[in-house]
Structure 1
Amino acid sequence: MEYELINNEEAKQYEFHIEGQVPKIEYIKAKDKIYLTHTEIPKGLEGKGIGSALVKQALDDVREKDLTLVPLCPFVALFIKRHPEYKTLVLKGINIG
């Protein structure tokens, strides 16, 4: 299923709106870098691939905006490890496994 990515700049998070709930990835932006700090999926939505879909769309947005990624969130780092096509976004010198 395809969800619409919302970049909520005021709340500093990428989010989906699903069944009245808000899965999100919190971030900090500094110049040309974006730090993805925390991914949160509401309990009722866990295990449905929503977290992976959210990370994928957020990383696609990072790529589109030509930002350098610093994946501080373990879930995001694991996603990148499993999808090496996104490693080019990561700040050089950061080892994500």
Structure 2
Amino acid sequence: MSEPEITRESGPAKGRYVLVQSGEEAELTFSIVSPTKIIADHTGVPDALRGTGAGRQLVEALVADARSRGFTIIALCPFVKSLAARHPEWQDVFV
């Protein structure tokens, strides 16, 4: 299995993190509220990548970006919200 690559795509109002592994694409989409706040609104993982940790890797990339770029995250996506609840060490970036 090939090593996944995560990229960040961002426009003026929306963006997404994309993980490509074995020809499959998983994504975490977000809406930009302000320069210091985004809303994580959806995580989509194809059946072929379920159980591989793809969704978690996308959330980890989001958390790392929030810390390095200085923004906070509103978790509307149920998957992101449930992971954030299980990781108290991430609470510095979730509102």
- For 2:28, the aligned partner's letter is I
Contact 2:84 2:94 in 1 (8 A): no
Q: Tell me how far 1:3 sits from its aligned partner.
A: 3.2
Q: Tell me how far 1:4 sits from its aligned partner.
A: 2.7
Partner of 1:4 in structure 2? 5
Contact 1:5 1:58 in 2 (8 A): no
Quote the RMSD (CA, aligned, Å).
1.7
Partner of 1:94 in structure 2? none
Change in CA separation of 1:2 and 1:79 when aligned onto 2, cut-off 3 Å: farther
The gaps in structure 1 that reach 5 residues or longer are 92-97
Q: Tell me how far 1:60 sits from its aligned partner.
A: 0.8
TM-score normalised over the length of structure 2: 0.85
State percent identity of aligned pairs: 30
The gaps in structure 2 that reach 5 residues or longer are none
Contact 1:63 1:89 in 2 (8 A): yes
Alpha-carbon distance in 1 for matches of 2:25, 2:55: 11
* Equivalent residue in structure 2 for 1:58, among 54, 59, 62: 62
Secondary structure, in 3 states, of the residue corresponding to 2:24? Answer: coil
Q: Tell me how far 1:2 sits from its aligned partner.
A: 5.9
Contact 1:13 1:27 in 2 (8 A): yes
Q: Tell me how far 1:53 sits from its aligned partner.
A: 1.4
Alpha-carbon distance in 2 for matches of 1:2, 1:78: 25
